[in-house]
Amino acid sequence: MNLSIKQLFGRKPKSSNIAKQRLKLVITQDRVDVDDRFMTRLHHELAEVLAKYFEFSANSVKMNLKQEGNSYILVADFPYTKFHDMSMRR
Amino acid sequence: MGKVIVVTSGKGGVGKTTSTANLGTALALLGKSVVLIDADVGLRNLDIVMGLESRVVYTSMDVIEKQCELNKALVRDRRVDGLMLLAASQKNNKDDMQPEQMKAICDKLRTTYDFTLVDSPAGIERGFRNASAGADEAIVVTTPDVSAIRDADRIIGLLQNVEVEPINLVINRFSPQLVGNGSMMDQADVLDILNIDLIGVVPEDSGVITSTNRGIPLVYEDGSPGAQAYMRIARRLTGQRIPIPDLEQKGLLSSIVNWFTKKK
Ligand SMILES: Nc1ncnc2c1ncn2[C@@H]1O[C@H](COP(=O)(O)OP(=O)(O)OP(=O)(O)O)[C@@H](O)[C@H]1O
Ligand SMILES: [Mg+2]
């Protein structure tokens, strides 16, 4: 009762609202952290495969996960300087 | 072909085992054939919550080690037709089982039973990976508090990575009074954060504790709010379209308060 009157006059925000706001922030951060680790791994593995075919400098590589609505788009730039000649490698 | 559904959570103690026992019994009461798998190797509970602890002879570990046929390891629940339990080994630990071995068990059960519910241990480690290895779908259980919801989000991410679909949410231990006075998040808040489909809301119900004491799942107590909630979820799992009632307690005063606070 006491609490309800306070809420009515907007002095003390509901603790459920505080919980929700805090959760939204922390979960956004959690998702980014998880994505970060995932991206680092993906980056290493992609680079390993692509290095068989192209020459590129590791620091020119850009990888990004973009969110559009409910889906994610992976954008990867691997600017290469040279194509390995596969026929030579055989 | 049946469905294999993993019941999981992230945070411990939010009601996975309670939900597995009650949903399994409810599905059997609806005429479905059901196997419940306890995947909490080393910390088994589902047998005692179901009241079947004295009849367990073999465990999933015996099946994996080929000490016993899968069918022989299933304990039949005599209170209802078509309900079986596959217990977890208490003397082993989670690393003694491989995800592929659990998957093989689920793949076999899927061909004969309408529903296989796998009670997962808490966490994101090996136990969770074993439990979800053979799953087509998932039920994520959470309570409406910050830690459980945060951990649920992590589990949902992991399930999405391995393409378990759909992932349905059960909000457990919901208190209409606390939501009414603004100290507990309501279902809309939880859904807004987790962004998956809600399959049901189970209220805080002291009947859960007494029924667990007796080893008789709550769904046998027709009148209890918890039993009704679990029966509705079971019906939804069988494909029936049943609306999710708003459990929030709307007294006159709290309606007025809500009206004011929503305007801000
Ligand atoms: N709706 C409810 N109302 C009241 N008590 C509940 C409810 N749901 C679960 N409980 C109680 O909460 C406790 C934990 O439940 P349960 O064992 O099902 O959780 P769990 O997620 O399986 O835990 P663990 O992570 O340890 O496996 C039990 O004592 C149970 O009786
Ligand atoms: Mg449990």
Structure tokens belonging to residue B151: 């951990």
Q: Who among B150, B186, B256 is closest to A30 (CB)?
A: B150
Contact list in B for residue A3 (CB cut-off 8 A) is: 181-182
Number of domains in chain B: 1
- Average pLDDT in chain B: 94
- pLDDT for the residue numbered B17: 98
A51 within a domain of the structure (yes/no): yes
- pLDDT confidence band for A72 (50 / 70 / 90): low
Would you call A27 an interface residue with chain B, using a CB distance cutoff of 8 Å? Answer: yes
Containing structural domain, residue A29: 15-89
Amino acid (one-letter) located at B252? L
A35 within a domain of the structure (yes/no): yes
Containing structural domain, residue B247: 3-260
Contact list in A for residue B179 (CB cut-off 8 A) is: 16
Ligand 1 cavity residues, CB under 6 Å: B 9, 12-18, 40, 121-122, 172-173, 202, 204-205, 208-209, 212, 226
A9 within a domain of the structure (yes/no): no
Report pLDDT digits (tens) over B20-54.
999 999 999 999 999 999 999 999 999 999 999 99
Number of domains in chain A: 1
Among B18, B94, B174, B232, name the best residue to mutate to test ligand 1's pocket (greatest count of ligand atoms within 8 A of Cβ): B18
CATH for B47: 3.40.50.300
- pLDDT for the residue numbered A57: 82
| Intra-chain end-to-end CA distance of chain A, in Å | 82
Helix intervals (H) in chain B: 16-29, 46-50, 60-64, 70-73, 99-112, 126-132, 146-161, 176-180, 187-194, 206-214, 225-237, 252-263
